[in-house]
Amino acid sequence: MIKLSGYETAAHDHLDVTFAALADPTRRAILARLARGEASVMELAEPFAMTQPAISKHLKVLERAGLVSRGRDAQRRPCHLEARPLRDATEWLEGYRRFWSESFERLDGLIDELKSMGERDMTASDEQPGGRP
Amino acid sequence: MIKLSGYETAAHDHLDVTFAALADPTRRAILARLARGEASVMELAEPFAMTQPAISKHLKVLERAGLVSRGRDAQRRPCHLEARPLRDATEWLEGYRRFWSESFERLDGLIDELKSMGERDMTASDEQPGGRP
DNA sequence: TGGTTAGATAACTACTTGGGAATATAGAGG
DNA sequence: CCTCTATATTCCCAAGTAGTTATCTAACCA
């Protein structure tokens, strides 16, 4: 039997870098902050007991993962959230939904689930995106 | 201002280890295999150009992340998928759905989205869970 | 008992990562 | 020009990771 070396599908070969970027609490908090709108590096660094270069490094990781893009405003390099990789990651995870949701097969069950999803408490925690912009 | 050291919420403090576990293609492939049912370490190792100890290590990572649990069948230690952390990760990501889904606010849009989700092509790739059990 | 099979553990290497300190660059505004 | 501010880069270190080979343990089987 042929041993697999490249068993990644083209559709998902950036999941590595996406999930790796999401595996750090500082970076998830940065994303949560950016969900409330653009922010400069200084603004992003402010809540953390961490030096600015450390934040810059986290931003580079997020940038490589395509999760943030950056503009230019004089000396500032404002960051903003790019959700596309999050969508891809979510889609990958959705493939496993049936393993925790017994009603997955029933469409009305799905609809109920989605309704409650739409209603669910979005109260901001440091790890969750903030209120609607 | 108080610098945050523990900015993780209790609800999500295992996201670190979950996302880290998902950041490796071998481990995602193992999960996809386990989505089709229990498997022994040997069975899991077979498709990979990798030694058995390497697979054992990946399994330990997945086990620490709570993504697999293991039973005992004579010498075999069958693994099976534990989806709970996947659910938590998905829920965290769903908090960002509005950033890629313009129709997020409209419930009927959500329902449409979910319908197509239920119907969508689940053709097995190495990175996706297999067919319905 | 001994042998075989499944799996875990250990020891090692090469590479990456998250952090800090110090320094460098870039642009704004005297 | 010089200086201040925002950000990036470089160098260093400790720790973690992904893989290897070799060895150990545990359970079955003859």
Has residue B6 been placed in a domain? no
Per-residue model confidence (pLDDT) at position B11? 53
The DSSP element (H or E) to which A81 belongs, if any, is strand A79-81
Say how far apart CA B46 and CA A77 lie, in whole Å: 48
Q: How confident is the model at residue A112 (pLDDT cuts 50, 70, 90)?
A: low
Residue B27 · residue B58 · CB < 8 Å: yes
Instruction: Name A residues 31-60 whose Cβ lies under 7 Å from strand D.
Output: 40-43, 52-53, 56-57, 59-60
Q: How confident is the model at residue A82 (pLDDT cuts 50, 70, 90)?
A: very high
| Residue A45 reports pLDDT greater than 80 | yes
Residue type, A109: G
Has residue A73 been placed in a domain? yes
Residue A39 three-state SS: strand
Has residue A80 been placed in a domain? yes
Say how far apart CA B84 and CA B106 lie, in whole Å: 28
Has residue B5 been placed in a domain? no
Has residue A128 been placed in a domain? no
Angle at Cα A11 formed by Cα A106 and Cα B98, nearest 5°? 60
What are the pLDDT digits (tens) for A11-38? 567 999 999 999 999 999 999 999 999 9
Average pLDDT, chain B: 79
Whether the beta carbon of B51 falls within 7 A of nucleic chain C: the reply is no
Per-residue model confidence (pLDDT) at position A77? 95
Q: How many CB pairs under 8 A join A and B?
A: 178
Has residue B130 been placed in a domain? no
**% of chain A beyond a pLDDT of 90:** 64
Has residue A2 been placed in a domain? no
Check the CA dihedral A19-A24-A25-A29 and report its sign.
negative
| Residue A60 reports pLDDT greater than 70 | yes
Number of domains comprising chain B? 1
**% of chain B beyond a pLDDT of 70:** 67
Has residue A125 been placed in a domain? no
Angle at Cα A12 formed by Cα B124 and Cα B43, nearest 5°? 50
Phi, psi of A69 (to 5 degrees): -125, 165
Average pLDDT over residues B23-39: 96
Residue B119 · residue B23 · CB < 8 Å: no
Average pLDDT over residues B43-70: 96
Residues of the domain holding B50: 12-119
Q: What tokens were used for A86?
A: 């999050």
Q: Is B23 on the interface with A (CB under 8 A)?
A: yes
| Residue A123 reports pLDDT greater than 70 | no
Which residue in the set A3, A9, A97 is minimally distant from B48, CB to CB? A3
Average pLDDT over residues B58-72: 96
Q: How confident is the model at residue A100 (pLDDT cuts 50, 70, 90)?
A: confident
Average pLDDT over residues B69-78: 94
- Higher-confidence position of B7 and B28: B28
Residue length of chain B: 133
| Token pair 């150009």 in the structure block, residue | B49
Look at A1-5, A57-61, B8-12 and tell me which has the smallest mean pLDDT.
Answer: A1-5
Distances (CA, A) of B8 to A65, A122, B1, B84, B94: 22, 16, 18, 19, 17
Q: Which of B110, B119, B14, B115 is nearest to B62 (CA)?
A: B14
Q: Which residue is nearest to nucleotide D10 (CA to C1')?
A: A53
> Could you tell me the CATH number of the domain that includes residue A22?
1.10.10.10
Per-residue model confidence (pLDDT) at position A79? 96
A94 Cα to chain B: minimum distance (Å): 7
Angle at Cα A18 formed by Cα B18 and Cα B110, nearest 5°? 85
Phi, psi of A58 (to 5 degrees): -60, -40
Per-residue model confidence (pLDDT) at position B121? 41
What are the pLDDT digits (tens) for B83-103? 999 999 999 999 999 998 854
